[in-house]
Structure 1
Protein backbone atom coordinates (compact mmCIF):
# COMPACT_ATOMS: atom_id res chain seq x y z
CA UNK A 1 0.00 0.00 0.00
CA UNK A 2 1.33 3.44 -0.93
CA UNK A 3 2.04 5.75 1.98
CA UNK A 4 0.01 8.94 2.15
CA UNK A 5 1.74 12.30 2.12
CA UNK A 6 1.83 13.86 5.57
CA UNK A 7 1.24 17.49 4.57
CA UNK A 8 -1.93 18.04 2.55
CA UNK A 9 -2.77 21.00 0.31
CA UNK A 10 -5.96 21.58 2.29
CA UNK A 11 -4.25 21.72 5.68
CA UNK A 12 -1.53 24.02 4.38
CA UNK A 13 -4.12 26.29 2.74
CA UNK A 14 -5.99 26.65 6.01
CA UNK A 15 -3.00 28.27 7.68
CA UNK A 16 -3.61 31.32 5.43
CA UNK A 17 -6.07 34.19 5.62
CA UNK A 18 -8.82 33.46 3.11
CA UNK A 19 -9.73 37.10 2.53
CA UNK A 20 -13.22 37.07 1.06
CA UNK A 21 -13.43 33.35 1.82
CA UNK A 22 -14.22 32.04 5.27
CA UNK A 23 -12.33 28.87 4.33
CA UNK A 24 -9.03 29.49 2.47
CA UNK A 25 -9.26 26.00 0.97
CA UNK A 26 -12.40 27.10 -0.90
CA UNK A 27 -10.37 29.90 -2.48
CA UNK A 28 -7.87 27.30 -3.71
CA UNK A 29 -10.65 25.14 -5.18
CA UNK A 30 -12.23 28.16 -6.90
CA UNK A 31 -8.87 29.23 -8.33
CA UNK A 32 -8.26 25.72 -9.66
CA UNK A 33 -11.74 25.64 -11.22
CA UNK A 34 -11.19 29.01 -12.91
CA UNK A 35 -7.78 28.00 -14.25
CA UNK A 36 -9.15 24.70 -15.50
CA UNK A 37 -12.07 26.39 -17.26
CA UNK A 38 -9.78 29.06 -18.75
CA UNK A 39 -7.43 26.41 -20.17
CA UNK A 40 -10.36 24.59 -21.75
CA UNK A 41 -11.82 27.83 -23.17
CA UNK A 42 -8.78 29.95 -24.10
CA UNK A 43 -10.84 32.50 -26.05
CA UNK A 44 -13.06 33.46 -23.12
CA UNK A 45 -12.23 36.39 -20.88
CA UNK A 46 -12.89 36.97 -17.22
CA UNK A 47 -16.44 38.19 -17.85
CA UNK A 48 -17.49 35.05 -19.67
CA UNK A 49 -15.75 32.81 -17.17
CA UNK A 50 -17.39 34.71 -14.32
CA UNK A 51 -20.82 34.08 -15.81
CA UNK A 52 -20.12 30.44 -16.61
CA UNK A 53 -18.83 29.61 -13.12
CA UNK A 54 -21.11 32.03 -11.27
CA UNK A 55 -18.25 33.81 -9.50
CA UNK A 56 -17.74 37.55 -9.03
CA UNK A 57 -15.75 38.92 -11.95
CA UNK A 58 -13.74 41.22 -9.71
CA UNK A 59 -12.53 38.24 -7.74
CA UNK A 60 -11.29 36.20 -10.68
CA UNK A 61 -10.09 38.91 -13.09
CA UNK A 62 -6.57 38.89 -11.68
CA UNK A 63 -6.46 35.10 -11.76
CA UNK A 64 -7.42 34.95 -15.41
CA UNK A 65 -5.11 37.82 -16.40
CA UNK A 66 -2.21 36.20 -14.58
CA UNK A 67 -1.72 39.18 -12.27
CA UNK A 68 -2.64 37.46 -9.03
CA UNK A 69 -3.65 34.32 -7.20
CA UNK A 70 -4.70 33.49 -3.63
CA UNK A 71 -1.89 33.48 -1.09
CA UNK A 72 -2.76 29.89 -0.21
CA UNK A 73 -2.20 28.86 -3.83
CA UNK A 74 1.23 30.49 -3.85
CA UNK A 75 2.11 28.65 -0.64
CA UNK A 76 0.94 25.31 -2.02
CA UNK A 77 2.94 25.81 -5.21
CA UNK A 78 6.10 26.66 -3.26
CA UNK A 79 5.70 23.72 -0.87
CA UNK A 80 5.22 21.39 -3.80
CA UNK A 81 8.40 22.64 -5.47
CA UNK A 82 10.36 21.80 -2.32
CA UNK A 83 8.83 18.32 -2.23
CA UNK A 84 7.14 18.87 1.12
CA UNK A 85 3.62 18.05 -0.07
CA UNK A 86 4.58 14.68 -1.49
CA UNK A 87 6.84 13.62 1.37
CA UNK A 88 6.18 10.48 3.39
CA UNK A 89 7.97 9.14 6.46
CA UNK A 90 10.95 7.65 4.64
CA UNK A 91 11.64 10.55 2.30
CA UNK A 92 14.63 12.86 2.70
CA UNK A 93 12.35 15.90 2.61
CA UNK A 94 10.24 14.62 5.47
CA UNK A 95 13.27 13.63 7.54
CA UNK A 96 14.39 17.27 7.28
CA UNK A 97 10.91 18.55 8.23
CA UNK A 98 10.77 16.15 11.18
CA UNK A 99 14.11 17.46 12.46
CA UNK A 100 12.96 21.05 12.06
CA UNK A 101 9.72 20.35 13.94
CA UNK A 102 11.81 18.91 16.79
CA UNK A 103 13.89 22.06 16.76
CA UNK A 104 10.83 24.30 17.03
CA UNK A 105 9.84 22.37 20.16
CA UNK A 106 13.31 22.34 21.70
CA UNK A 107 15.11 25.45 20.51
CA UNK A 108 13.10 27.53 18.11
CA UNK A 109 9.85 29.29 17.39
CA UNK A 110 7.38 30.19 14.66
CA UNK A 111 6.23 33.81 14.64
CA UNK A 112 2.49 34.25 15.04
CA UNK A 113 2.19 37.22 12.69
CA UNK A 114 4.05 35.85 9.64
CA UNK A 115 4.86 32.17 10.35
CA UNK A 116 8.60 32.74 9.91
CA UNK A 117 10.52 30.07 11.86
CA UNK A 118 13.67 30.82 13.82
CA UNK A 119 16.09 28.37 15.41
CA UNK A 120 18.66 29.04 18.14
CA UNK A 121 21.97 27.31 17.55
CA UNK A 122 22.93 24.88 20.31
CA UNK A 123 26.34 24.32 21.91
CA UNK A 124 27.69 23.09 18.55
CA UNK A 125 27.19 26.63 17.20
CA UNK A 126 27.56 26.69 13.39
CA UNK A 127 27.87 22.90 13.36
CA UNK A 128 24.39 22.52 14.88
CA UNK A 129 22.32 19.82 13.22
CA UNK A 130 19.52 22.30 12.41
CA UNK A 131 21.73 23.77 9.69
CA UNK A 132 21.99 20.36 8.03
CA UNK A 133 18.22 20.01 8.28
CA UNK A 134 17.61 23.37 6.59
CA UNK A 135 20.01 22.44 3.81
CA UNK A 136 18.27 19.08 3.40
CA UNK A 137 14.89 20.84 3.25
CA UNK A 138 16.27 22.86 0.35
CA UNK A 139 15.77 26.35 1.82
CA UNK A 140 18.14 29.29 1.91
CA UNK A 141 18.96 30.68 5.35
CA UNK A 142 20.95 33.29 7.21
CA UNK A 143 22.38 33.84 10.70
CA UNK A 144 21.21 36.52 13.12
CA UNK A 145 22.64 38.01 16.35
CA UNK A 146 26.09 36.57 15.58
CA UNK A 147 27.81 39.54 17.19
CA UNK A 148 25.39 39.99 20.10
CA UNK A 149 26.87 38.43 23.23
CA UNK A 150 23.57 38.82 25.08
CA UNK A 151 21.60 36.65 22.64
CA UNK A 152 22.01 33.21 21.16
CA UNK A 153 22.88 33.08 17.50
CA UNK A 154 19.81 32.18 15.45
CA UNK A 155 19.40 30.74 11.99
CA UNK A 156 16.34 31.61 9.94
CA UNK A 157 15.23 30.60 6.47
CA UNK A 158 15.07 33.50 4.05
CA UNK A 159 13.31 32.65 0.78
CA UNK A 160 9.87 31.06 1.37
CA UNK A 161 10.38 31.21 5.15
CA UNK A 162 6.61 31.62 5.88
CA UNK A 163 5.81 28.60 3.70
CA UNK A 164 8.25 26.48 5.69
CA UNK A 165 6.80 27.77 8.96
CA UNK A 166 3.27 26.95 7.85
CA UNK A 167 4.35 23.48 6.74
CA UNK A 168 5.92 22.82 10.14
CA UNK A 169 2.73 24.11 11.80
CA UNK A 170 0.65 21.61 9.82
CA UNK A 171 2.91 18.89 11.19
CA UNK A 172 2.16 20.02 14.73
CA UNK A 173 4.91 22.53 15.49
CA UNK A 174 3.69 25.21 17.93
CA UNK A 175 3.07 28.71 16.58
CA UNK A 176 3.72 31.72 18.79
CA UNK A 177 5.33 31.98 22.25
CA UNK A 178 5.39 28.43 23.59
CA UNK A 179 5.08 29.57 27.20
CA UNK A 180 1.66 31.04 26.41
CA UNK A 181 0.23 27.94 24.73
CA UNK A 182 -2.18 25.93 26.86
CA UNK A 183 -2.77 23.02 24.50
CA UNK A 184 0.82 21.86 24.07
CA UNK A 185 1.61 18.34 22.94
CA UNK A 186 4.03 16.46 20.73
CA UNK A 187 3.40 16.29 16.95
CA UNK A 188 0.51 14.10 15.86
CA UNK A 189 2.51 12.28 13.19
CA UNK A 190 4.79 10.65 15.77
CA UNK A 191 1.95 8.38 16.91
CA UNK A 192 2.10 6.21 13.80
CA UNK A 193 5.65 7.03 12.75
CA UNK A 194 8.28 4.36 12.17
CA UNK A 195 11.09 4.00 14.70
CA UNK A 196 13.60 6.01 12.65
CA UNK A 197 11.30 9.05 12.54
CA UNK A 198 10.73 8.92 16.30
CA UNK A 199 14.43 8.42 16.96
CA UNK A 200 15.45 11.39 14.79
CA UNK A 201 12.91 13.59 16.59
CA UNK A 202 14.20 12.53 20.03
CA UNK A 203 17.87 12.96 19.16
CA UNK A 204 17.26 16.40 17.62
CA UNK A 205 15.29 17.42 20.71
CA UNK A 206 18.01 16.21 23.07
CA UNK A 207 20.79 17.87 21.07
CA UNK A 208 19.23 21.19 22.10
CA UNK A 209 17.84 20.48 25.55
CA UNK A 210 19.81 17.69 27.21
CA UNK A 211 21.49 18.68 30.49
CA UNK A 212 24.48 16.45 31.17
CA UNK A 213 25.69 15.83 34.72
CA UNK A 214 29.31 16.26 35.76
CA UNK A 215 29.26 13.34 38.16
CA UNK A 216 26.44 11.12 36.89
CA UNK A 217 25.54 9.37 33.65
CA UNK A 218 21.90 10.40 33.83
CA UNK A 219 20.71 13.19 31.53
CA UNK A 220 17.91 15.63 32.22
CA UNK A 221 15.63 17.96 30.29
CA UNK A 222 14.22 20.96 32.11
CA UNK A 223 10.60 21.49 31.04
CA UNK A 224 8.37 24.25 32.40
CA UNK A 225 5.31 22.97 30.54
CA UNK A 226 2.48 20.84 31.86
CA UNK A 227 2.96 17.49 33.56
CA UNK A 228 0.96 15.93 30.73
CA UNK A 229 3.54 17.18 28.25
CA UNK A 230 6.48 15.99 30.38
CA UNK A 231 4.84 12.57 30.69
CA UNK A 232 4.29 12.45 26.94
CA UNK A 233 7.89 13.45 26.22
CA UNK A 234 9.29 10.94 28.72
CA UNK A 235 7.19 8.15 27.19
CA UNK A 236 8.47 8.97 23.69
CA UNK A 237 12.13 9.00 24.78
CA UNK A 238 11.68 5.78 26.76
CA UNK A 239 10.05 4.11 23.76
CA UNK A 240 12.99 5.04 21.55
CA UNK A 241 15.68 4.21 24.12
CA UNK A 242 13.92 1.06 25.37
CA UNK A 243 15.28 1.97 28.81
CA UNK A 244 13.77 3.88 31.76
CA UNK A 245 12.93 7.59 31.42
CA UNK A 246 10.96 9.33 34.15
CA UNK A 247 8.94 12.52 34.42
CA UNK A 248 9.13 14.65 37.54
CA UNK A 249 8.63 18.21 38.71
CA UNK A 250 9.81 20.40 35.83
CA UNK A 251 12.25 17.69 34.75
CA UNK A 252 12.43 14.67 32.50
CA UNK A 253 15.21 12.34 33.65
CA UNK A 254 16.87 9.95 31.23
CA UNK A 255 18.45 7.06 33.07
CA UNK A 256 22.10 6.15 32.50
CA UNK A 257 21.00 3.03 30.59
CA UNK A 258 18.70 5.11 28.39
CA UNK A 259 21.44 7.69 27.79
CA UNK A 260 23.81 4.92 26.70
CA UNK A 261 21.13 3.38 24.49
CA UNK A 262 20.64 6.76 22.79
CA UNK A 263 24.43 7.13 22.49
CA UNK A 264 24.37 10.50 24.25
CA UNK A 265 27.91 11.77 24.59
CA UNK A 266 28.64 13.45 27.95
CA UNK A 267 29.82 16.99 27.38
CA UNK A 268 31.81 17.42 30.59
CA UNK A 269 33.93 14.29 30.71
CA UNK A 270 36.39 12.71 28.36
CA UNK A 271 35.13 9.57 26.76
CA UNK A 272 36.84 6.46 28.09
CA UNK A 273 37.63 4.04 25.30
CA UNK A 274 37.31 0.32 26.13
CA UNK A 275 40.57 -1.51 26.79
CA UNK A 276 41.62 -4.40 24.58
Structure 2
Protein backbone atom coordinates (compact mmCIF):
# COMPACT_ATOMS: atom_id res chain seq x y z
CA UNK A 1 0.00 0.00 0.00
CA UNK A 2 1.23 3.49 -0.85
CA UNK A 3 1.70 5.84 2.09
CA UNK A 4 -0.43 8.53 0.43
CA UNK A 5 -3.46 6.27 -0.06
CA UNK A 6 -6.46 6.18 2.33
CA UNK A 7 -6.36 3.12 4.58
CA UNK A 8 -10.01 2.60 5.50
CA UNK A 9 -12.25 1.01 2.89
CA UNK A 10 -15.87 2.09 3.21
CA UNK A 11 -16.99 -1.40 2.20
CA UNK A 12 -15.17 -2.86 5.21
CA UNK A 13 -16.81 -0.31 7.47
CA UNK A 14 -20.25 -1.16 6.05
CA UNK A 15 -19.63 -4.86 6.66
CA UNK A 16 -19.24 -4.37 10.40
CA UNK A 17 -23.05 -4.17 10.40
CA UNK A 18 -25.53 -7.03 10.17
CA UNK A 19 -28.80 -5.71 8.71
CA UNK A 20 -31.63 -8.20 8.70
CA UNK A 21 -32.79 -7.37 5.19
CA UNK A 22 -29.40 -7.70 3.47
CA UNK A 23 -27.01 -10.61 3.25
CA UNK A 24 -24.19 -8.17 2.42
CA UNK A 25 -24.42 -4.83 4.26
CA UNK A 26 -22.54 -3.13 1.42
CA UNK A 27 -25.53 -3.84 -0.83
CA UNK A 28 -27.65 -1.70 1.48
CA UNK A 29 -25.30 1.21 0.82
CA UNK A 30 -25.43 0.66 -2.94
CA UNK A 31 -29.23 0.45 -2.90
CA UNK A 32 -29.54 3.61 -0.83
CA UNK A 33 -27.21 5.52 -3.15
CA UNK A 34 -29.08 4.25 -6.21
CA UNK A 35 -32.43 5.29 -4.78
CA UNK A 36 -31.26 8.76 -3.80
CA UNK A 37 -29.57 9.27 -7.15
CA UNK A 38 -32.67 8.16 -9.05
CA UNK A 39 -34.91 10.37 -6.91
CA UNK A 40 -32.65 13.36 -7.59
CA UNK A 41 -32.72 12.74 -11.32
CA UNK A 42 -36.51 12.10 -11.36
CA UNK A 43 -37.96 14.50 -8.78
CA UNK A 44 -41.52 13.83 -9.87
CA UNK A 45 -41.32 10.09 -9.25
CA UNK A 46 -42.78 8.66 -6.06
CA UNK A 47 -41.63 5.70 -4.02
CA UNK A 48 -43.78 3.26 -5.99
CA UNK A 49 -42.26 4.30 -9.32
CA UNK A 50 -38.74 4.28 -7.93
CA UNK A 51 -39.30 0.87 -6.35
CA UNK A 52 -40.47 -0.52 -9.67
CA UNK A 53 -37.67 1.06 -11.66
CA UNK A 54 -34.90 -0.14 -9.35
CA UNK A 55 -36.53 -3.41 -8.31
CA UNK A 56 -36.13 -2.64 -4.62
CA UNK A 57 -39.05 -3.29 -2.23
CA UNK A 58 -41.08 -0.14 -1.71
CA UNK A 59 -41.34 -0.78 2.03
CA UNK A 60 -37.57 -0.58 2.20
CA UNK A 61 -37.06 2.66 0.32
CA UNK A 62 -40.08 4.63 1.54
CA UNK A 63 -38.42 5.65 4.86
CA UNK A 64 -35.35 6.79 2.91
CA UNK A 65 -37.47 9.05 0.71
CA UNK A 66 -40.19 10.18 3.09
CA UNK A 67 -38.45 10.29 6.46
CA UNK A 68 -34.86 11.00 5.51
CA UNK A 69 -33.62 7.83 7.20
CA UNK A 70 -30.59 5.88 6.02
CA UNK A 71 -29.35 2.32 6.36
CA UNK A 72 -26.96 2.10 9.29
CA UNK A 73 -23.98 1.21 7.07
CA UNK A 74 -24.64 4.25 4.85
CA UNK A 75 -24.93 6.50 7.89
CA UNK A 76 -21.65 5.16 9.29
CA UNK A 77 -19.82 5.82 6.03
CA UNK A 78 -21.15 9.37 5.86
CA UNK A 79 -20.20 10.00 9.50
CA UNK A 80 -16.68 8.59 9.11
CA UNK A 81 -16.18 10.68 5.98
CA UNK A 82 -17.32 13.82 7.81
CA UNK A 83 -14.67 13.22 10.47
CA UNK A 84 -12.04 12.80 7.78
CA UNK A 85 -11.34 9.17 8.69
CA UNK A 86 -12.14 7.61 5.31
CA UNK A 87 -9.78 9.88 3.41
CA UNK A 88 -6.98 9.73 5.96
CA UNK A 89 -3.54 8.50 4.92
CA UNK A 90 -0.66 7.50 7.18
CA UNK A 91 0.59 11.07 7.46
CA UNK A 92 -2.74 12.79 8.13
CA UNK A 93 -3.48 13.94 11.69
CA UNK A 94 -6.82 12.11 11.61
CA UNK A 95 -5.01 8.83 11.08
CA UNK A 96 -2.39 9.63 13.70
CA UNK A 97 -5.29 9.93 16.16
CA UNK A 98 -6.91 6.70 14.96
CA UNK A 99 -3.60 4.84 15.15
CA UNK A 100 -3.16 6.03 18.74
CA UNK A 101 -6.68 4.91 19.62
CA UNK A 102 -6.09 1.48 18.10
CA UNK A 103 -2.97 1.16 20.26
CA UNK A 104 -5.06 2.10 23.27
CA UNK A 105 -7.64 -0.59 22.52
CA UNK A 106 -4.82 -3.15 22.55
CA UNK A 107 -3.09 -1.80 25.64
CA UNK A 108 -5.73 -0.20 27.84
CA UNK A 109 -9.19 -0.27 26.32
CA UNK A 110 -11.90 -2.35 24.74
CA UNK A 111 -14.63 -2.26 22.12
CA UNK A 112 -18.05 -3.57 23.13
CA UNK A 113 -18.90 -6.64 21.07
CA UNK A 114 -22.59 -5.83 20.67
CA UNK A 115 -22.61 -2.07 20.15
CA UNK A 116 -19.02 -1.49 18.99
CA UNK A 117 -18.65 1.30 21.53
CA UNK A 118 -15.04 1.83 22.69
CA UNK A 119 -13.86 2.62 26.19
CA UNK A 120 -10.33 3.57 27.26
CA UNK A 121 -8.77 3.32 30.71
CA UNK A 122 -6.66 6.30 31.71
CA UNK A 123 -3.05 5.46 32.47
CA UNK A 124 -0.86 6.75 35.34
CA UNK A 125 -1.11 10.30 33.94
CA UNK A 126 -4.84 10.23 34.73
CA UNK A 127 -6.64 13.12 33.00
CA UNK A 128 -3.45 14.00 31.14
CA UNK A 129 -3.36 10.59 29.45
CA UNK A 130 -2.49 10.73 25.76
CA UNK A 131 -5.73 8.95 24.81
CA UNK A 132 -7.62 12.17 25.55
CA UNK A 133 -5.47 14.04 23.02
CA UNK A 134 -6.16 11.23 20.52
CA UNK A 135 -9.92 11.51 20.95
CA UNK A 136 -9.71 15.25 20.43
CA UNK A 137 -7.48 14.66 17.39
CA UNK A 138 -10.16 12.38 15.96
CA UNK A 139 -12.67 15.22 16.38
CA UNK A 140 -14.70 13.60 19.17
CA UNK A 141 -16.30 14.75 22.38
CA UNK A 142 -15.89 12.46 25.40
CA UNK A 143 -16.79 11.94 29.03
CA UNK A 144 -15.22 10.20 32.03
CA UNK A 145 -16.53 7.23 34.00
CA UNK A 146 -15.67 5.66 37.39
CA UNK A 147 -13.91 8.83 38.57
CA UNK A 148 -15.22 8.39 42.12
CA UNK A 149 -14.76 4.62 42.28
CA UNK A 150 -11.46 3.79 44.00
CA UNK A 151 -11.78 0.17 42.96
CA UNK A 152 -11.95 0.80 39.23
CA UNK A 153 -9.78 2.62 36.74
CA UNK A 154 -11.14 5.88 35.40
CA UNK A 155 -12.29 5.45 31.81
CA UNK A 156 -12.89 7.89 28.98
CA UNK A 157 -15.50 7.20 26.30
CA UNK A 158 -16.59 9.15 23.21
CA UNK A 159 -20.07 10.57 23.58
CA UNK A 160 -21.13 11.08 19.96
CA UNK A 161 -20.67 8.58 17.12
CA UNK A 162 -19.01 6.12 19.50
CA UNK A 163 -20.21 3.10 17.53
CA UNK A 164 -18.89 4.50 14.25
CA UNK A 165 -15.51 5.10 15.91
CA UNK A 166 -15.47 1.57 17.31
CA UNK A 167 -16.29 0.10 13.91
CA UNK A 168 -13.61 2.24 12.25
CA UNK A 169 -11.02 1.04 14.77
CA UNK A 170 -12.19 -2.54 14.16
CA UNK A 171 -11.60 -2.12 10.42
CA UNK A 172 -8.05 -1.05 11.29
CA UNK A 173 -7.54 -4.25 13.26
CA UNK A 174 -8.54 -3.33 16.81
CA UNK A 175 -9.95 -6.36 18.67
CA UNK A 176 -13.65 -6.59 19.44
CA UNK A 177 -14.82 -7.91 22.79
CA UNK A 178 -12.62 -9.36 25.57
CA UNK A 179 -9.06 -9.64 24.27
CA UNK A 180 -8.33 -12.57 26.58
CA UNK A 181 -10.83 -14.64 24.58
CA UNK A 182 -9.07 -14.03 21.26
CA UNK A 183 -6.59 -16.82 20.61
CA UNK A 184 -5.69 -15.41 17.20
CA UNK A 185 -5.08 -11.85 18.40
CA UNK A 186 -2.59 -10.09 16.17
CA UNK A 187 -1.25 -6.57 15.83
CA UNK A 188 -3.03 -4.28 13.31
CA UNK A 189 -2.53 -5.14 9.66
CA UNK A 190 -1.70 -1.58 8.64
CA UNK A 191 1.51 -1.58 10.70
CA UNK A 192 3.13 -4.04 8.30
CA UNK A 193 3.67 -1.44 5.57
CA UNK A 194 3.44 1.68 7.71
CA UNK A 195 6.13 4.38 7.83
CA UNK A 196 8.41 4.39 10.86
CA UNK A 197 6.55 7.29 12.49
CA UNK A 198 3.23 5.40 12.47
CA UNK A 199 4.79 2.32 14.03
CA UNK A 200 6.61 4.47 16.59
CA UNK A 201 3.42 6.25 17.67
CA UNK A 202 1.70 2.89 18.12
CA UNK A 203 4.56 1.52 20.23
CA UNK A 204 4.88 4.59 22.44
CA UNK A 205 1.11 4.72 23.02
CA UNK A 206 1.13 1.03 23.91
CA UNK A 207 4.02 1.42 26.33
CA UNK A 208 2.52 4.49 27.97
CA UNK A 209 -0.27 2.21 29.18
CA UNK A 210 1.52 -1.07 29.81
CA UNK A 211 5.20 -0.47 30.60
CA UNK A 212 6.28 -1.67 34.05
CA UNK A 213 9.38 0.00 35.47
CA UNK A 214 11.60 -1.29 38.27
CA UNK A 215 13.42 0.37 41.16
CA UNK A 216 16.51 -1.82 40.92
CA UNK A 217 17.10 -2.04 37.16
CA UNK A 218 16.60 -0.10 33.96
CA UNK A 219 14.89 -2.83 31.95
CA UNK A 220 11.16 -2.41 31.35
CA UNK A 221 8.53 -5.15 31.17
CA UNK A 222 5.13 -5.59 29.58
CA UNK A 223 3.04 -8.30 31.17
CA UNK A 224 1.11 -10.16 28.46
CA UNK A 225 -1.22 -13.09 29.06
CA UNK A 226 -1.83 -13.48 25.35
CA UNK A 227 -0.45 -16.06 22.95
CA UNK A 228 3.25 -16.72 22.39
CA UNK A 229 2.81 -15.60 18.80
CA UNK A 230 1.36 -12.27 19.92
CA UNK A 231 4.22 -11.66 22.40
CA UNK A 232 6.76 -12.47 19.72
CA UNK A 233 5.02 -10.10 17.31
CA UNK A 234 4.90 -7.31 19.88
CA UNK A 235 8.53 -7.78 20.88
CA UNK A 236 9.62 -7.65 17.24
CA UNK A 237 7.70 -4.41 16.68
CA UNK A 238 9.14 -2.70 19.77
CA UNK A 239 12.65 -3.85 18.86
CA UNK A 240 12.24 -2.54 15.33
CA UNK A 241 11.45 0.90 16.73
CA UNK A 242 14.07 0.88 19.49
CA UNK A 243 16.85 -0.67 17.37
CA UNK A 244 17.96 -2.35 20.59
CA UNK A 245 17.19 -5.79 22.10
CA UNK A 246 13.62 -6.64 23.11
CA UNK A 247 12.72 -10.22 23.99
CA UNK A 248 9.53 -12.20 24.52
CA UNK A 249 9.20 -14.81 27.25
CA UNK A 250 6.42 -16.57 29.09
CA UNK A 251 3.72 -13.96 29.85
CA UNK A 252 6.05 -11.00 29.33
CA UNK A 253 7.97 -8.84 26.90
CA UNK A 254 11.27 -7.48 28.22
CA UNK A 255 12.63 -4.19 26.91
CA UNK A 256 16.36 -3.97 27.54
CA UNK A 257 17.84 -0.92 29.26
CA UNK A 258 19.35 0.16 25.94
CA UNK A 259 15.98 -0.18 24.20
CA UNK A 260 14.19 1.71 26.99
CA UNK A 261 16.72 4.53 26.68
CA UNK A 262 16.37 4.57 22.88
CA UNK A 263 12.58 4.82 23.21
CA UNK A 264 12.90 7.65 25.70
CA UNK A 265 10.99 5.81 28.42
CA UNK A 266 11.04 7.68 31.71
CA UNK A 267 11.33 5.38 34.76
CA UNK A 268 8.29 5.56 37.01
CA UNK A 269 9.47 3.00 39.58
CA UNK A 270 5.98 1.60 39.94
CA UNK A 271 3.57 -0.54 37.99
CA UNK A 272 0.80 1.16 35.97
CA UNK A 273 -1.84 -0.12 38.41
CA UNK A 274 -0.37 1.48 41.52
CA UNK A 275 -2.01 4.75 42.65
CA UNK A 276 -0.25 8.04 42.15
CA UNK A 277 0.85 10.03 45.17
Q: Report the TM-score range of the alignment, normalised by the length of the smaller protein.
A: over 0.9
Runs of 4+ in 1 over 4 A off after TM superposition: none
Superposed, which structure 2 residues align to 1:260-271 within 5 Å? 260-268=261-269
Deviation for aligned residue 1:18: 2.0
TM-score under structure 1 length normalisation: 0.96
What SS is found at the alignment partner of 2:221? Answer: strand
Deviation for aligned residue 1:50: 0.7
Q: Deviations over 1:228-275 (max 9, x none)?
A: 000000000000001110000101000111000000001139xxxxxx
What SS is found at the alignment partner of 2:120? Answer: strand
Q: Deviations over 1:1-53 (max 9, x none)?
A: 78221111100000012220011000000100111111110110110011111
Q: Which moved more, 1:66-75 or 1:12-21?
A: 66-75
Q: CA separation in 2, counterparts of 1:23 and 1:184? A: 25
Superposed, which structure 2 residues align to 1:50-199 within 5 Å? 50-199=51-200
Native 8 Å contact 2:3 2:90 kept in 1: no
What SS is found at the alignment partner of 1:224? Answer: coil
Listed as ranges, the gaps of 5+ residues in structure 2 are: 271-277
Native 8 Å contact 2:235 2:248 kept in 1: yes
Native 8 Å contact 2:104 2:131 kept in 1: yes
Native 8 Å contact 2:135 2:158 kept in 1: yes
What SS is found at the alignment partner of 2:38? Answer: helix
Deviation for aligned residue 1:215: 0.9
Deviation for aligned residue 1:100: 0.2
Deviation for aligned residue 1:182: 1.7
Q: CA separation in 2, counterparts of 1:265 and 1:186? A: 25
Listed as ranges, the gaps of 5+ residues in structure 1 are: 270-276
Deviation for aligned residue 1:202: 0.1
TM-score under structure 2 length normalisation: 0.95
Q: CA separation in 1, counterparts of 2:237 and 2:67? A: 48
Native 8 Å contact 2:3 2:194 kept in 1: no
Q: Which moved more, 1:71-80 or 1:199-208?
A: 71-80
Q: Deviations over 1:65-113 (max 9, x none)?
A: 2432101111111111110010000000000000000000000000001
Deviation for aligned residue 1:133: 0.4
What SS is found at the alignment partner of 1:211? Answer: coil
Q: CA separation in 2, counterparts of 1:268 and 1:65? A: 62
Which residue of 1 is the match for residue 235 of structure 2?
A: 234
Q: CA separation in 2, counterparts of 1:199 and 1:259? A: 13
Q: CA separation in 1, counterparts of 2:120 and 2:68? A: 35
Q: CA separation in 2, counterparts of 1:45 and 1:226? A: 57
Q: CA separation in 2, counterparts of 1:239 and 1:123? A: 26
What SS is found at the alignment partner of 1:109? Answer: strand
Q: CA separation in 2, counterparts of 1:206 and 1:214? A: 18
Which residue of 2 is the match for residue 274 of structure 1?
A: none
Which residue of 2 is the match for residue 219 of structure 1?
A: 220
Q: CA separation in 2, counterparts of 1:143 and 1:18? A: 31
